[in-house]
Structure 1
């Protein structure tokens, strides 16, 4: 028996479908896209992937489709997985993995990439998977015949991938940008291929049951001969009679074939129709349609589905077919409890759904309450496929495939759809919040009235600094805290009293965009991205930046038609290389609108470290062919120690910043803390100073006493509880007390503590800390909206916080005992 379980469906926080195929013995395979949020979805749904060996990537590999893959690989490696193979139908795969070389590296994991040309087959002891590579849109886009890269370029890319995952550990101070094998210029001058990869899955038949009575009747002696026949070998009896396996075995049992078809947009529909017009369907039992948001649900796509006949099962994934369900219910429950205690400090995650009128009426599917229907064609669509054979791809629906005897039995496909109560804030409040007596009855009424209300960037707070802690966890996404990301709104009163907002993003871990989509309406989101002027990255650890590419793309979506719009990005220099290599694939025009400044060039020091110059492809090939690598060292770029003063001056002027300084953080190579001093109006020298630690050990000398001294606001990591100071030293993080000491020495006016270890998913250590000298302070939770003027109001609910999460703590303790 095999089961097929949806891990993610298209929602606001998990953009694409991911399917888990599992054997009876626990062997696991992924098919589909690994969007940001996929890893968190596994945690949320308690899906274990210890036996995962193969990931079959489907569709087109833009960042939205694979943004969750680098984090997933790092987590699998940290869990001790020793081998993993990524499959895809284009050699763009090696390029994509190579772009991660400065921040994804793990020893002990053998990561392989398998480029599967059209109709190529992968086989193992359980199944065979055939790739289906289909061209869409413009047929002349691929830049080089026979693939995107020359044989030499392919060998360099494969070498980089293998060296990102060395068998033995490098030194603890390892820096990938100083590694000859990794700091290499990647090929350029090509475009993302206009192809999509789909798959046909065939399962190995099960040999029929051995019939001992029949073997005895034919004169076969008991013993080794029985074993031979049972394993499929013929036996010669002493009298010369040949007994064949089929004489003593029941009929072979088969499994239905499965198709996973990924259509990115309308330009592919015709190609798919042509490819599958004469497809042999007699062994086919199940088709998954992974339709991108640019595929129109209309007559054409329904006719394509009908090519496979009326007897098979059809499962459809599309943003206008799959409901926008709450994917991370644990985190949503946390927000509900916190909102009950601090009404104006949280937005309830939004669940509005726009679904296809054509699909839902054609197949007579039940609609969730609060759904809006979207119509694209005037005449209704009809179909010969029975309604009972068409299913919506949702997380609560598992399909089981069992073996059957061809000719004697029907295919055995069982849909196990657990009925899930539609998400209701009222029901969740009554069941999980009301019994805790966290708030008066008036709050319950107010929450129902203001369920859709946005508490960030409101008219009443137009002149106030606001902070939204989008993610507050460390290392990897968990059930209750996503990885780190902080959004600042710093208003500026221009001439004639006109208010202008500067939105600043301090780090953006994986799926920051998903959190924003859940928290804001499309109108509010548009306002935030039009005001977004600066993205800052503290260091190269993946939990701080895997969400940045999605943020850049979203910014461009809202600003591409405003020629004067620029976005400043301040990052370690290696990350700028990744941004350039990635956006050349997806959005080359966006690169013209980004103004990059190296964190090193804002350092409060006369000495600037120089960047290492990457080897060109030719140099790389020359070095490794001639075996000179042991004698060769990477050269530094002498010009990189000269501050980019024009870009820095332009940023200070455009964003009305008085000063922007960094200092080296005590964490890893090329890690920084920063302090930014903003002018608050055009008619005085009044300023607002914010300091952000990033990840670091306590840095009193450079951070507290120099660049951050007397900050109005300090946002500091407080990864570990106070008794774990040895862990903090080993991992180069701070305990809560150490973060408070940094604030005290800085004489910061107000303090936000964030970046908590995921071993404390709900409430960090609030009591028994050293005295906080800042006027006000608070502990960050995901989705928390902090009005700077009222930052200390959380103190009033400290006593209730531990009580609020008793239910989750019990659940966690039970899980640990299983």
Structure 2
């Protein structure tokens, strides 16, 4: 991380593709002392950075947003961006969406739809050949300066007047490898991908050659085609590796795209594919899986096996059953895989988790059953897992195969996969008492054990449940899907009535737009509303992104999403005034409708500007939960709005011996959080938001835990209120769990 200097964005610009960027840069900024450049090959992303002004206040975040026309070169590689334009079909022309809000940063014209998709040519620059000393002597070249001039590519004139060129005294340089990174979001981009000259000649600029404006070479367009006026020495093209990032509708093994990858394969190119139907949904971090396994054994009712599943379609089986292509040259792209480019191309795969990923045998069984299903429905010939269009015949000659969307819906694969050994179909439990789900329990930045802040509280409501989400750090939607699977995720989002953001630090809200967008998708067929309760300036951030997120924009326009300023619910006098109502544009009728059965009260937190503590009472059940957000111990909160809470969720960022650091950063220690609980007379307390310096089990020290209805939060913990007092009765077992996990991790590293 400390060495990372340049980030290249692929595909089109949307919240899905760049929503994690500010959190990544904030995390990365703490480790890297240099400047970080970020670039899209197709659009100017300055409006994206401008939208961060609502919550990033770090002057030290040094980010250079490079223009789409700029290219990159250093001593080793050259990177040229390629903006692939979509074909303007009737569908893409009409996708203008609803009326969009014009705002100061991101507007409906910032990223004109349809956008070009960013892809890249990564060229390893040729290294010089060996200098032939004997040959130089024969040609009369004296040692010293002329040797250096020749090795740097310049001709020299010897003392006897002879001109000697570099190629006369240098061995030929080896042809360097080229890597293509191709992002094809949908079928509209296929023509642009397959017709682009990926083997075009780029001309490198040597470090001693001046640019037109005499600026540093890394900040100007330093690569061009062979027809460019930029001088330099051309070199042979040898494409060795291609990464294909493909949208769901793109079928890489039919029609034009199949012809494209076939030509590459005939040139012995190693090709990686990332595709929703071919890429398995498995767990990357073995340490996380180990910890989950240990906690499930210790607390089976509080931790569930993490959701994972194999691919819907098997790459080798469905593609090569009637093909002349070599399956070894086609690989699924997996997290943490490494490809070595020099001295030879070598793929180093990171082994999948045996406990969570689908085995090869199981994957084969899935495809056999899928093909059997296709045959029984009259949709296949026993060799294909993708339905053919009527009258089409699949053959090795890709040019004769029509292009079509990838469609697996008729194969009935999903129910089969759910039963494959090694996969898990997690779900959301039915409850008969309030439940707390801690999805993110770390502070500041994600770690492999703790994601950033998010806690969900569910309460029974009639025959179902209703839920409120307290804070929503980056990756929250992914955590929900990993813990509950697709079925449980939809159930939880149908229960969600309130999304509460305590303050504007990025680790508490960067996951919110993804959750809201998914909430709108899941609840498309009903008339439910979601209350977004957050500090006032957050509304501007949401509104700006709504300009290019049609679903979110429609949710705001139709009042499916109701934004309410936290200050509206301030307890006491002197805070609420007409300015707040003008800022959030929510009428009392709007609030009464969306918060039916829910009473919210807030007070100022002792942390940063516009930070709040909150108490929520579900009036149908009289259950009261209080949430501190980030705050120093706040006795006003404890003795007023939070008094006699049934559940307190309180931050405990620092261990007790770091009290001075807690004061300086306006956080609480574990002991201070417990003191708030006692002052509040809370019936149960869960501590969360632990410092990432102790990502496993925080040290409780001399805190009196056995007499307190207290639990420590871990990611993925699902705990009924009645279960809270039981956890720390097994504190010694918890310590043993983490000791064993650490030992097993060391064995894995060995």
Q: State which drifts further: 667-676 or 482-491.
A: 482-491
Residue 261 of structure 2 aligns with which residue?
305
> 1:796 and 1:546 mapped to 2: Cα distance?
35
Aligned equivalent of 2:317:
361
Deviations 1:162-194 (A, max 9, x none): xxxxxxxxxxxxxxxxxxxxx956545566532
Q: Does 1:790 align with 2:723?
A: yes
Q: Which residue pairs with 1:214 in the alignment?
A: 135
CA RMSD of aligned residues (A): 3.2
1:304-383 map, 5 Å: 304-311=260-267, 312-357=269-314, 359-363=315-319, 382-383=322-323
- 2:437 is equivalent to residue 468 of structure 1: yes
Residues 745 and 61 (structure 1), Cα distance of their counterparts in 2 relative to 1, 3 Å cut? same
Whether the aligned pair in 2 keeps the contact of 1:704 and 1:742 (CA below 8 Å) is: yes
Cα offsets for 1:358-398 (capped at 9, x unmatched)? x332455xxxxxxxxxxxxxxx7x44432222122123532
Distance of aligned partners of 1:579 and 1:302 in 2 relative to their CA distance in 1, 3 Å threshold: same
Runs of 5+ consecutive residues of structure 1 not aligned to the other structure:
1-48, 144-152, 154-182, 365-379, 404-411, 428-447, 494-498, 612-635, 681-685
Given the alignment of the two structures, is residue 568 of structure 1 paired with residue 531 of structure 2, yes or no? yes
Residue range with higher mean Cα deviation, 569-578 or 277-286 = 277-286
Q: For 1:577, what is the secondary structure of its paired residue?
A: helix
Would the aligned equivalents of 1:740 and 1:770 in 2 still touch at CA under 8 Å? no
What is the TM-score of this pair, normalised by structure 1? 0.73
Cα deviation digits, residues 111-150 of structure 1 (max 9, x gap): 1212224xx643333322222112225479799xxxxxxx
Shift of 1:203: 2.3
Q: Distance in 1 between matches of 2:656 and 2:238?
A: 61
Partner of 1:88: 40
Counterpart contact for 2:614–2:626, Cα < 8 Å = yes
Mapped to 1, the partners of 2:86 and 2:189 lie a distance apart of 4
The structural deviation recorded for 1:328 is 2.5
SS at match of 2:341: strand
| Cα 1:601–1:418 shift into 2, 3 Å | closer
C-alpha separation in 2, matches of 1:330 and 1:757 = 18
User: What is the alpha-carbon distance in structure 2 between the residues aligned to residue 734 and residue 521 of structure 1?
Assistant: 34
Structure in which a larger fraction of residues adopt strand: 1
Once the two structures are superposed, residues 766-787 of structure 1 have per-residue CA deviations (whole angstroms, 9 ceiling, x without a partner) of 341146765x221111111101
The answer on 1:62 being equivalent to 2:2 is no
Structure-to-structure mapping, 1:375-774, within 5 angstroms: 382-402=322-342, 412-420=344-352, 422-423=354-355, 452=424, 454=426, 456-458=428-430, 461=431, 463-493=432-462, 499-562=463-526, 564-586=527-549, 587=551, 588-591=553-556, 592=558, 593-608=560-575, 639-640=582-583, 644-653=587-596, 656-657=597-598, 659-680=599-620, 687-701=622-636, 703-770=637-704
Q: Do 1:142 and 1:191's aligned partners in 2 also have CA atoms closer than 8 Å? A: no
Other structure's SS at 2:118 match:
strand
Matched residues in 2 for 1:451 and 1:257: separation? 37
Structure 2 residue aligned with 1:283: 238
1:466, distance to aligned residue in structure 2 (A): 0.9
**Alignment partners' CA distance in 1, 2:288 and 2:690:** 15
- Paired residues of 1:347 and 1:455 also in contact (CA < 8 A): no
Report if the CA contact (8 A) 2:468-2:498 is conserved.
yes
Shift of 1:308: 3.0
Q: CA deviation at 1:286?
A: 1.8
How far apart in 2 are the matches of 1:780 and 1:540? 22
Partners of 1:519 and 1:486 lie apart in 2 by: 13
Give unpaired runs (5+ residues) of structure 2. Answer: 95-101, 202-235, 360-419
Deviations, residues 657-699 of structure 1 (Å, cap 9, x unaligned): 2x2100010001100010011123xxxxx51111000000011
Deviation at 1:812, TM superposition (A): 9.1
Aligned match of 1:225: 146
In the TM superposition, residue 641 of structure 1 has moved relative to its aligned partner by 9.9
TM-score (norm 2): 0.79
Q: Is the 8 A contact 2:136 2:169 kept in 1?
A: yes
Kept after mapping to 2: 8 A contact 1:290/1:317: yes
Contact map agreement 1:474 1:719 (CA 8 A) in 2? yes
- Structure 1 contact 512–547 (Cα < 8 Å) conserved: yes
**Which stretch of the first structure deviates more once superposed, 188-197 or 108-117?**
188-197
Equivalent in the alignment of 2:84: 134
Q: 1:266 to 1:450 in 2, by over 3 A?
A: closer
For the Cα contact (< 8 Å) 1:692–1:716, is it kept in 2? yes
The 2-side partners of 1:535 and 1:323 are apart by 31
Contact 2:604 2:610 in 1 (8 A): yes
Indicate how the Cα distance of structure 1 residues 772 and 646 shifts in structure 2: closer, same or farther if over 3 A, else same: farther
> CA 1:666–1:276 in structure 2 vs 1: closer, same or farther (change >3 Å)?
same
Q: Number of aligned pairs?
A: 641
